[in-house]
Amino acid sequence: MCIVADGGIWVMAKDIVLDEYIIKKNKIPILIKDKNWKALFEEHLTRAMKKIVKDLELKLAEEKEAMRQMKVYKKLKKNLMEKILYLSDEVNNNQKKEALNKLEETKEKLLEVNDKIDEFLFQIEILPKEIERLNLELLTETVKIAYKDIEEGNEKIDELTEEILKLRQQLKNDWDEKINLEKRVEDLYSYLHNTLGYEQTNKFDRKFL
């Protein structure tokens, strides 16, 4: 295969290297969510592509779950902070000492919730980068299989074109032979009819035809 350079793609033999910024630059979607990609490649995945698809699905699920958990823990944090304000008021203004233990427990829970929120924030920050990396890997494999299928498809098209041309020529030859045979049959019958006459020809027609 010849060398091609276009839009961040370099093709030499079967080596494919994509510009690491091509995903953002060309606004390429996550391939496994793209209907055009799915229509062209979902039924033609290589072993490497299947592995990347599986990893990509896992990371997307992790991102979705992290965002869901973030909402849950932010809501929980809001409730705990409201509870801390309430308990602090009970301790400081209403002199309710029994609220002191609950206040400390609530503060401990808030620290735990903050740790969880930090954990999910970290995941939400790094997962898109991992997803983009996997998407780029899948795009690279996609380009490889696309060029491979294009090359094989062109070879098959050439073979089929040659076969069609042969069949077309054979069909023309058969058609010409058919026309010639029909003319000879017509000429022979006309000759017999003119030579032997209508009555004799009819007798032979019934006997031989």
Give the type of residue at 121: L
Token pair 């630059």: residue: 25
What values do phi and psi take at 36, rounded to 5? -65, -45
With a cut of 80, say whether residue 97 has pLDDT above it: no
| CA separation for the pair 61, 77 (Å, rounded) | 24
Exposed/middle/buried for 79, CB within 10 Å: 0-12, 13-18, 19+? middle
Q: What pLDDT score does 30 carry?
A: 97
How does residue 14 score in pLDDT terms, banded at 50, 70 and 90?
low
For 36-80, what is each residue's pLDDT tens digit? 999 999 999 999 999 999 999 999 999 999 999 999 999 999 999
For 147-201, the pLDDT digits (tens) are 999 999 999 999 999 999 999 999 999 999 999 999 999 998 888 888 988 888 8
Is the model's pTM score more than 0.75?
no
Residue 94 has pLDDT above 80, yes or no: no
Output the DSSP codes for 140-156: HHHHHHHHHHHHHHHHH
**Do the bridges between strand 15-18 and strand 9-12 make them parallel or antiparallel, or are there none, so unpaired?**
antiparallel
